[in-house]
Chain A
């Protein structure tokens, strides 16, 4: 644990109490990040910085406010906190606004989450340059004469944070991360210059794929966009590629939040215990996944993190309810937000599934669109590849899918065996049957 920020947090809790707060929650984060990008075989940007930030939430006379600052000079912080308390007193009273019952802090798992790379300090500036050069070169090579521009990048960082409340919570977290990838712009017919990219995020350096591979995938994903055109509107099965599944599940998830439920903006408010998707649709929230990008022992309010099956074989089991909305709704709190989300993988590869599906579209990206958490209706632009019995027919672009989440996930007929692990949302590709894909 970092003593400097621990002591500052303790000081801030005392300062808030001294200034008249009944209760408070203080969080301090400290991080260092380094970022390098290359273009035309030379560094395009080099960036390095340290951040420190403090937030304090004040509870006084049944009133509430939250403040944060990067001005951590002690004299500034003193007036910052006392003014925060004075300000809070001017707001309307809200009986639901309290710190969590401390019993919910209890039961924190005693686990090593493996979210710190012990080798982090051994990653040198030369290592970074060599890594990003390799990503760039492999992308340039794989892109060949179609390349207009390639930018490759690496970013890494180390974060330490403290969370503390006046009713007994203390938590400290340390983590590391690495991001690397490339984006490429390619020559296509006419004026079109499709842009594709690929990047990965990991906690440990050893879990990064080979940099050559990352560059090649970025190039291939861009080349796959060449000649993209819309086809006639057609009802087809679609396969949503693993790394793109979160974008469309996200619209569903937003209706699972206590704030949207209490504010009457959720189509799932009365659906707990009922079927909201096909029996292929399972979603697990696992905060204890080793080396997971969303792994944690406690959440943003300090509630002890627990594994939950949010949706089990199509049946909605749980919501994301933070302390405040749990009080407003009269429900048990769970957590204010997701940790690692996992869709368990199926048995067959995307290639095998494609062969059996006949004519269909592999969706490799979404564009724009909307998801209405109140009604569950959504509509989003897609691009990807049209295939027939596993054989690619053409690239498709400028097309659209629309529907209602309850109906859409009800048509989820299969889950592939290819979970994408470079995200806190770990999901394989999924197959949705009978989707109207609108185009020309």
Chain B
């Protein structure tokens, strides 16, 4: 991870809002690229015309100006700060399912026309024309802010980071090393399409994270925790600092007591919140429409069919307030929305970008995302979650004689085509005779996504979204922030792998 600078560095580059305009309304998101970089509608029309000069179905421009800052503590002092500024425009021409793409960091007419003529090479017929006028899209606001993150001075971030460190050390004499980071990012985008859509947005993203190394009787363990999302700076209260410190320390300390469970096939209870990474990775990716359009996903023949027990409902949602995957508008101008993927066990919809929606003859679902102006659009998840069921968490655990309870997983990987996945269980417990017993460590759980979905036999009533802000999903070399959530879930059988097999 690259880190970043101080708000002060950024503040001089981003124009400060007119005084008195503290509440950041959707209106103040508009006009930024025109006022700061002279990007007029007339110029955009010219560039789009160039992008369609050899034909094609549509073209779009994606302008981005992103400022990212990191403040880092190591060995007790906030002694590193990093910042990154990304500025550029990506120009896309689409011809059926074919994409031509050029981008430039210079927002000059000459550079943009050159990038547009590269994009145009994807088609080979006669020119088509962009819309004569661009209609600004009126957007909902799923990440309300009281002020710009770039206006928050470094002096306000330093005590948060320092205090997280100090709290960790106060919590246990076994704490040996603490690393703390505070990250904030402010991303301004403008999407202009040849169909006449103009959408502008300002996306915040931030999180506070800590990693703790503890030492006991010559053994060392490490764990961490983070909180954040698309939050306002006011989110970072003493309670948040306390939770980040306490969870980091407790998670490291519990590993001293942890045992490695015997390996094999067994029932697995996934706790609420974070274990929904499995839902995202092992099931969600297979429902992204590009894999289905190309028939490479196991779900490509399953629309309208039963893929889970009738009490299972899965949603992908851009409209949650302040979550990492929330989107007022996606990166190709489709407004933020909520998409029902699985309803009562039946697969209802894939997640679409414009290309896949045209392929299936339906409306896009607002899942067209990209890492930055350097990348083209892919269908991607936003906040993906499974709704709660009727059982209590205790009932779910009590139903298992011998198995494991998973509280946190990391380093997961899935093979979309087979659906096979492997995840490392970083926090969890044994279940013996219906009770949670010893903490566990150093194991992987392996399985198959579609099979796991069919094997979910109980859902509890304790639905939770994961509260971390650092979650990034990678696909085709592009990372985008995502959220996920789930209640306590019973999977009737999964492979647990460890050393003592």
Q: Chain A residues in contact with chain B, CB under 8 A?
A: 39, 42-52, 63-72, 76, 79-80, 82-84, 86-88, 90-94, 97, 148-149, 185-186, 188, 191-195, 225, 228, 230, 233, 263-265, 328, 367-370, 372, 374-375, 377, 379-381, 383, 397-400, 402-403, 436, 438-440
Chain B minimum-CB-distance residue to A87: B6
Find residues 192-232 in chain B having any chain A CB closer than 8 Å to their own CB. 213, 215, 219-222
Residues of A within 8 A of B122 (CB): 43, 45-46
Q: Are B85 and A368 in contact (CB under 8 A)?
A: no
From known contacts A79-B13, A264-B213, infer whether A370 and B424 are also in contact, taking CB-CB under 8 Å: yes
From known contacts A70-B105, A79-B12, A374-B222, infer whether A46 and B294 are also in contact, taking CB-CB under 8 Å: no
Q: Are B265 and A69 in contact (CB under 8 A)?
A: no
Residues of A within 8 A of B417 (CB): 185-186, 192-195
Contact of B376 among A47, A82, A86 (CB under 8 A): A47
Complex A-B: 13 CB contacts under 8 Å: A43-B122, A48-B102, A64-B80, A68-B83, A68-B84, A87-B5, A87-B8, A195-B416, A328-B75, A367-B415, A368-B423, A369-B424, A375-B221
Residues of A within 8 A of B97 (CB): 44
Q: Are B13 and A71 in contact (CB under 8 A)?
A: yes
* CB of B432 to closest CB in A, whole Å: 21
* 7 closest cross-chain pairs (CB), A and B: A400-B497, A368-B422, A381-B422, A87-B6, A370-B424, A438-B501, A83-B9
Residues of A within 8 A of B119 (CB): 46
Find residues 131-152 in chain B having any chain A CB closer than 8 Å to their own CB. none
Find residues 67-100 in chain B having any chain A CB closer than 8 Å to their own CB. 74-75, 77-88, 97-100
Q: Are A379 and B100 in contact (CB under 8 A)?
A: no
Residues of A within 8 A of B497 (CB): 379, 381, 399-400, 402, 438
Q: Are A97 and B79 in contact (CB under 8 A)?
A: yes
Interface string of B486-501 (1 = CB under 8 A from A): 0000000001011101
Q: Are A264 and B412 in contact (CB under 8 A)?
A: no
From known contacts A46-B100, A194-B417, A372-B442, infer whether A233 and B81 are also in contact, taking CB-CB under 8 Å: no
Residues of A within 8 A of B80 (CB): 64-66, 91, 94
Contact of B87 among A70, A185, A402 (CB under 8 A): A70
Q: Are A193 and B298 in contact (CB under 8 A)?
A: yes
Q: Are B220 and A83 in contact (CB under 8 A)?
A: no
Q: Chain B residues in contact with chain A, CB under 8 A?
A: 2-6, 8-13, 65, 74-75, 77-88, 97-105, 115, 118-119, 121-122, 154-155, 158, 176-177, 179, 213, 215, 219-222, 263-265, 294-298, 301, 374, 376, 410-424, 426, 442-444, 446-448, 450, 495, 497-499, 501
Residues of A within 8 A of B10 (CB): 83
Question: How distant is the Cα of A94 from the Cα of B82 in the complex, in angstroms?
Answer: 15
Q: Are B418 and A195 in contact (CB under 8 A)?
A: yes
* CB of B62 to closest CB in A, whole Å: 13
Q: Are B444 and A400 in contact (CB under 8 A)?
A: yes
Contact of B221 among A185, A192, A374 (CB under 8 A): A374
Residues of B within 8 A of A51 (CB): 105, 374
Question: How distant is the Cα of A369 from the Cα of B444 in the complex, in angstroms?
Answer: 7
Q: Are B81 and A45 in contact (CB under 8 A)?
A: no
* CB of B491 to closest CB in A, whole Å: 15
Residues of B within 8 A of A372 (CB): 222, 442
* CB of B169 to closest CB in A, whole Å: 14
Q: Are B220 and A374 in contact (CB under 8 A)?
A: yes
Contact of B2 among A49, A68, A225, A383 (CB under 8 A): A68
Residues of A within 8 A of B13 (CB): 71, 76, 79-80, 83
Residues of B within 8 A of A328 (CB): 75
Q: Are A379 and B294 in contact (CB under 8 A)?
A: no
Residues of B within 8 A of A79 (CB): 12-13
Residues of B within 8 A of A186 (CB): 417
* CB of A224 to closest CB in B, whole Å: 13
Question: How distant is the Cα of A225 from the Cα of B88 in the complex, in angstroms?
Answer: 41
Residues of B within 8 A of A87 (CB): 5-6, 8-9, 81, 154
Question: How distant is the Cα of A265 from the Cα of B495 in the complex, in angstroms?
Answer: 29
Question: How distant is the Cα of A260 from the Cα of B296 in the complex, in angstroms?
Answer: 40
Q: Are A48 and B263 in contact (CB under 8 A)?
A: no
Chain B minimum-CB-distance residue to A401: B497
Question: How distant is the Cα of A49 from the Cα of B375 in the complex, in angstroms?
Answer: 10
Q: Are A64 and B86 in contact (CB under 8 A)?
A: no
Residues of A within 8 A of B443 (CB): 379, 402
Residues of A within 8 A of B75 (CB): 328
Q: Are B444 and A440 in contact (CB under 8 A)?
A: no
Question: How distant is the Cα of A44 from the Cα of B115 in the complex, in angstroms?
Answer: 18
Q: Are A367 and B421 in contact (CB under 8 A)?
A: yes
Question: How distant is the Cα of A436 from the Cα of B86 in the complex, in angstroms?
Answer: 47
Chain B minimum-CB-distance residue to A46: B100
Q: Are B295 and A83 in contact (CB under 8 A)?
A: no
From known contacts A83-B10, A87-B6, infer whether A379 and B221 are also in contact, taking CB-CB under 8 Å: no
Residues of B within 8 A of A185 (CB): 294-296, 417
* CB of A151 to closest CB in B, whole Å: 8
Q: Are B498 and A402 in contact (CB under 8 A)?
A: yes
Contact of A80 among B3, B85, B420 (CB under 8 A): B85
Q: Which residue of A79, A92, A233 has the most chain B CB atoms within 10 A of its CB atom?
A: A92
Residues of A within 8 A of B295 (CB): 148-149, 185, 193
Contact of B5 among A42, A46, A47, A84 (CB under 8 A): A84
In the complex, besides A71-B85, A367-B421, 15 extra interface pairs with C-beta distance below 8 angstroms are A48-B118, A71-B87, A82-B12, A83-B8, A84-B5, A94-B79, A148-B296, A191-B301, A195-B417, A195-B418, A263-B177, A368-B413, A368-B446, A369-B413, A399-B497
Q: Are B448 and A398 in contact (CB under 8 A)?
A: yes
Q: Are A45 and B177 in contact (CB under 8 A)?
A: no
* CB of A353 to closest CB in B, whole Å: 25
Q: Are B3 and A194 in contact (CB under 8 A)?
A: no
Q: Are A370 and B215 in contact (CB under 8 A)?
A: no
Chain A minimum-CB-distance residue to B155: A90
Chain A minimum-CB-distance residue to B103: A49
Question: How distant is the Cα of A372 from the Cα of B75 in the complex, in angstroms?
Answer: 21
